[in-house]
Chains A and B, each alone.
Chain A
């Protein structure tokens, strides 16, 4: 039975989430994108596809990963809160996945589609390198040739991940155009794809891009929210009061949120990178951007009055993108999800807090979500429950953090 008025039934058949999403690509790519849509629709209702996906998630990725009650973080929040205040904070441990982030969930799904379509070559774009590593990993697993596009600036600040990708057999192309970050890597990946449509599958890493990517990536990442539902009911006997997840393009956030969208009592906060502050350099496309068209979809973008895309900034390479997935733009406009900006400095502080209190070094992306939790939890009653998506681990970021703290390693 179709649920009427479900917030989970987007996008429409043309790939639109309200006024957002769609397919804005060069004509050369359209036939391939329409074929991908057909193949994905068929896979969605194919039990064999689901079985293979689930098998790999369990035995290769290591799912389900734990939902962990962060008692020391909760205590530290309560110490600063008024009596009776300070919500209980749980962490969904996506950082314990193989390759160290949620990115692998989506890559497993998409490589299975690539095989169904008979494509021999895989390309991907990456910012922080987590999606690049995850893509190179699944390409190695299935013996497919892999090329990763990465902005030159990100290549410089994420050397460990660049080396990992190379070890996994991928070619890493350093993109020197534009701002030399994630958006430029995506431009060059699209250029490569349009020139090699016959044999190449593009694994987009976030819930953005032309339809059906935002829907497809969301579906593959929804394993996060689905597991969280089961686990929090086991732990607390009820659904959480608030979900918090970091948002660059927003794949981990939409994966956590989507299974809860119809639960009116579950609030949600997506955390945008406010960089040096919303009046300065930042990457908060909802708080500081406007609706526009880039990289195949209509969504909120950082842009000037002439529609030129402006450069994003975040201490986290993974959030350093001037756009956001179209479903987030829609959820923002209808007010179902609240989006909150967190600055570089706030994220840096929470990076250290979580490391020292819980023995978990979070990715800088995830540290933005922890910072939001630290701000919101003290305002909530002590019997309330927050689940924070710990989307990735921080090994890749230790050099960036050390530099920001003035430490030489």
Chain B
């Protein structure tokens, strides 16, 4: 079993949702990212999403946009990001690592080059925000050839007609975007997320993780009761924005508070969700 599946299975065995945390590589500097990633793991993150900075992150809100600009302003290059991932893999052999970003920096040297580098760096999965299933040929085949998960996003606008296209070729986990919008802004109504999950469950065996607008422990716990994973990004990135190079301990404390909430919440509702779906 691969790292990702192993981790989701372990969380399930502990009767809780997986905690997936996001930070931008190179924010605030390439050198500082290693400590921040370690803080995520020490705080209890199950899976790490590493943002690949881009000059034009048009699916992201102000928090992550600023993180991208801080990182690029500090001189972060693709080579740094791959080095950060390689070093992380050496320190944390079992923690799944997902690279999230936009098509242009990923594909500028070709999809095969990208897949090869991602594989060599020990990255387990890729989320490419602006490559929908219709353009899968750009990146999907190269990643699948390299046994890298291509993680797809389902959104509130993904209807029943479209869902099979989204699921075709998706692996690792399914990223359910909680709100029709950009990262870090609005919070979705809990009922909306429940409905989305109930709709998805019968269509896929992939673990389903919910992200966008998850800001704190209470909300994470509520989602954790019904989803297989909870993704928190902008709230962590904001802490890095405030504390810069000294952010690691603050990040660790915040992540620990999210983890505690998920552990306490358990996953009773998730079982109910499955029954309803069945």
Q: Does B182 contact A (CB under 8 A)?
A: yes
**CA gap between A26 and B134 in the complex, in Å:** 11
A30 to B186, alpha carbons, bound, how many Å? Answer: 20
A307 touches B105 (CB 8 A): yes
Question: Is A293 touching B180 in the complex (CB atoms < 8 A)?
Answer: no
Question: Of A24, A194, A305, which one neighbours B181 at CB under 8 angstroms?
Answer: A194
Contact A28 B55 (CB under 8 A): no
Q: Which of A28, A30, A301, A307 is in CB contact (< 8 Å) with B134?
A: A30
Cα distance A296–B135 in the bound complex, in angstroms: 11
In the bound assembly, the distance between CA atoms of A24 and B129 in angstroms comes to 9
Tell whether, in the assembled complex, residue A194 and residue B180 are in contact, meaning their CB atoms are under 8 Å apart: yes
Neighbour of B107 across the interface among A31, A177, A198, A293, CB < 8 A: A293
Q: Say if the beta carbon of B158 comes within 8 Å of chain A.
A: yes
User: Are A178 and B55 also in contact (CB < 8 A) when A23-B135, A197-B180 are?
Assistant: yes
Beyond A26-B59, A27-B166, whether A303 also contacts B134 by CB under 8 A is no
How many residues of A are in contact with the other chain, CB < 8 A?
Answer: 38
Pick from B78, B130, B154: contact of A306, CB under 8 Å? B78
- Interface 1/0 per residue, B159-185 and A, CB below 8 Å: 100100010000000000101111001
From residue 16 to 35 of chain A, which have CB atoms closer than 8 A to chain B? 22-32, 34
Cβ of B242 under 8 Å from chain A? no
Q: Residue among A186, A294, A301 with the most chain B CB within 10 A?
A: A294
A195 to B177 alpha-carbon distance, docked (Å): 12
- Given A292-B108, A309-B56, the answer on whether A30 and B132 have CB atoms closer than 8 Å is yes
Dominant SS at the B interface?
Answer: loop
Contact A306 B182 (CB under 8 A): no
CA distance A293 to B153 in the complex (A): 19
Q: How far is the CA of A184 from the CA of B55 in the complex (A)?
A: 10
Please name the residue on chain A nearest to B65 by beta carbon.
A177
**B58 engages A197 (CB within 8 Å):** no
In the complex, what residues of B have CB within 8 A of residue A31's CB? 157-159, 162
Distance between B130 CB and nearest chain A CB, rounded to angstroms: 5
Interface residues of B (CB under 8 A from A): 54-61, 65, 69, 72, 77-78, 102-108, 129-132, 134-135, 138, 152-159, 162, 166, 177, 179-182, 185-186
